[in-house]
Structure 1
Amino acid sequence: MQYHPGSGTSRLTSELLRVQRELHGEGEFGVCCTCGNTDALVKTLELLTEPGDTVLVEAYTWPGFLSMLGPRRRRAVGVAIDERGALPRALDAALATLEQEEGPKQRLFYTIPTGHNPTGMTVDLERKKQLYDVCRRRGVVVLEDDPYYFLEFNDPSASFLSLDTDGRVVRLDSAAKIVAPGLRLGWASASPAFVEKYRLFSEGSTQFPSGLSQTALLHLLTDRDKWTAHLRHVVDDYRRRRDLLADALAAELDPALATFQLPASGMFFWLKQLVTPDAADLQDDFVDAGVAVVPGRCFRSTFGADKARDADTSVDPCPYLRLTFAFGQDHHIRTGVRRVAQVLKRRANA
């Protein structure tokens, strides 16, 4: 319960480094504790970018990250995606355009490679290699935000960190999805030089993560059997919930109303409804039906600009909805899907 270094207690950081080397290889990286991924993202932006800089993101991404950019005078440029992640050619083209417009400079590519929020996709190894090669050739730092890494339902995929050969990956892991979000605890893995800068930044701001939170995570990690059993329990429960939601969607929704792909990790379904060009048009109907879903446009890399011109019919429609199976009991999931189906059926028959 005493003061600690900004990087966390030595016992926990040593244990986390052991875990990271087992999972991501013996690369030249260090580890420091963070106050959760949100705080770590803010600090990374401050350390690696400047006002006026452009950050590359997936065309659909977590709006929490986008909300960090504007107040810090950074802007986002979206990179087209498919079911395997960002398209390497699209990333390369976006970087080439930026170099022409702004000249050569270090840039940041923000990605959520596992159980992507919102699409649920997981980037495979071959696509990661292609994206990493583009970033290496163009001098780009990969900001690998991976809070759903431990929620893979099959064999874990290799990380960007495991591919890193020259210290251009900053990887963020989190205890939020596998222990408790209220711990506000995560860990960053990156080059020793970045880890040291992050430590100094933390000591001048948040100081260090909660000692109680660090003790709780250390207690889990140091008992290898307990840690393994805990992760297995969490993954099994999320897999069961995923299958429950998938079965409910298949039972309630005709493919003429909506389509989806089964996510291989994480906690999200990316439902493409087919009854109206823009899922946002259905939001009032979902509220009236008593079900919470998020229209896909809220996750677009241009969302801030979209909000500023909502009255402009030039805003591209987005047919997608994000659903989650992370909350509620089983009957809540079934009831929620039933209500979604009822809204789509009513609109289709209107």
Structure 2
Amino acid sequence: MPSLPDECIRLSSGYPAPYLVPAEEIKGAVTHLLEEEKDLPLHYLGSPKMEQLKGQIQERLAIRGIDVAENELLLTSGACQAIDLIARILIDDQTLVAIEAPTYMEALEIFCNYTNQFISIPVDEHGLRTDFLEEILAERKQKGFSLPRFLYSIPTFQNPTGTTMTEERRKHVLELAAKYNFLILEDDAYGELSFGEQQTPLKAMDNYGRVLHVGSLSKVVAPGMRIGWVAAVPEFITAMAWFKKDLDHPFAQATMAAYLESTNMKKRLETIRATYQAKCSVLLSALEQYMPQSATWYVPEGGYFVWLKVSVDTSELLAQALKEGVSYVPGKYFFLHQKEGTQFLRLSFSYADEKKIVEGIKILAKVLKEAK
């Protein structure tokens, strides 16, 4: 992605709305933390407050139906470290990995550091095409080809498409994992950002320990705190902890624990969900009003993103869009085979304010129409 002009409307940015980041509350948590624990959070070994965080995460997971013991949970520096640690213990250069198409670009880059063996499974408006996955697995088994070590999936408010895997498909993919003996890396970064009924994580439906559940507080508190985790069976947690060594962030973890201790997260989540639902509605209404008829998109039920298909090469169009004052992410970055993404683009409704969202869609629609 090229650098963005200062005044550009950032419909590319998958960041929280600035006014939803609790800066003052975190400042208060830091003050309280240092008054209570003095210098302890600033040392290598951390402090008692830091040790509370794992229990707080366990409580938050339990609310969503994921019951894990202490030895089934590893705290990480954000979700990306969690994904990288999983890759380290599960992948070598001969390992086959199943991925969604499209998928989260950072995860794809991480996996490519370890292997070049992939199978891509398409995503539609109902999430991962589990019927397509089943066909590929059956064919590979019949021909004696290798089967995937794991499937990487974002089943809830997927990045970049915003789609959500149906309950039927969730059950199906778990059945396939058991039948064909593969694991599932469930990336649940957006799982708490539902506009309506809360979705059941794959991990909450997993009776056989096949799901490694990755989550973070980046979308519901603050991304710069870098608080993430993996929930998995103890042997995987032990292996990941060995690679992680002592690469914790004691001050950030202690601060987060202090923040969570003093915050009504249920109320905060209600505010966040209502805000993003309103911003998403503004973006969808602007798309309906201004986009050319050839453009199509999925309607998300939560998360940050809307995924568009248009009739031009979105990578070639980006320079003109930036010149006019709006940014997006070209679809090619979300595919293993980038040519598959030439007519797609990702828009984010999370970061820009509602007025800027409408203005940005007007500009983008104009650029698209002039490109024909």
TM-score by length of 1: 0.86
- TM-fit CA distance, 1:213: 2.0
What does 1:87-98 correspond to in 2, within 5 Å?
87-98=129-140
What amino acid maps onto 2:289 in structure 1? A
Q: Which among 211, 221, 245 is matched to residue 260 of structure 2?
A: 221
- 1-structure distance, mates of 2:341, 2:66: 43
- TM-fit CA distance, 1:285: 2.5
2:345 is the counterpart of 1:347: no
2:339 is the counterpart of 1:298: no
- Could you say what secondary structure the match of 1:80 adopts? strand
2:313 is the counterpart of 1:271: no
What amino acid maps onto 1:11 in structure 2? Q
2:265 is the counterpart of 1:230: no
2:56 maps to which residue?
15
- 1-structure distance, mates of 2:218, 2:354: 22
Identity of aligned residues (%): 27
- Could you say what secondary structure the match of 1:72 adopts? coil
What amino acid maps onto 1:286 in structure 2? A
The gaps in structure 1 that reach 5 residues or longer are: 304-314
CA deviations on 1:92-147 (whole Å, 9 max, x unpaired) are 23334444677556611000111111111011221111111111111111000111
Alpha-carbon distance change, 88 to 156 in structure 1, aligned in 2, over 3 angstroms: same
What does 1:177-192 correspond to in 2, within 5 Å?
177-192=219-234
2:201 is the counterpart of 1:159: yes
Q: Which among 342, 352, 358 is matched to residue 334 of structure 1?
A: 358
CA deviations on 1:177-232 (whole Å, 9 max, x unpaired) are 111111111111111222222222211xxx14322221232234335x61112212
Report if the CA contact (8 A) 2:137-2:147 is conserved: no
CA deviations on 1:315-340 (whole Å, 9 max, x unpaired) are 45642211111222222212210111
- 2-structure distance, mates of 1:317, 1:43: 28
Q: Which moved more, 1:280-289 or 1:171-180?
A: 280-289
- 1-structure distance, mates of 2:277, 2:251: 30
The gaps in structure 2 that reach 5 residues or longer are: 1-40
2:179 maps to which residue?
137
- 1-structure distance, mates of 2:57, 2:112: 33
Alpha-carbon distance change, 139 to 264 in structure 1, aligned in 2, over 3 angstroms: same
- Could you say what secondary structure the match of 1:264 adopts? coil
Alpha-carbon distance change, 60 to 183 in structure 1, aligned in 2, over 3 angstroms: same
- 2-structure distance, mates of 1:188, 1:116: 18
How many residue pairs end up in the alignment?
Answer: 328
- 2-structure distance, mates of 1:318, 1:141: 31
2:79 maps to which residue?
37
- 2-structure distance, mates of 1:19, 1:76: 33
- TM-fit CA distance, 1:160: 0.7
RMSD between aligned residues: 2.3
2:150 maps to which residue?
108
TM-score by length of 2: 0.81
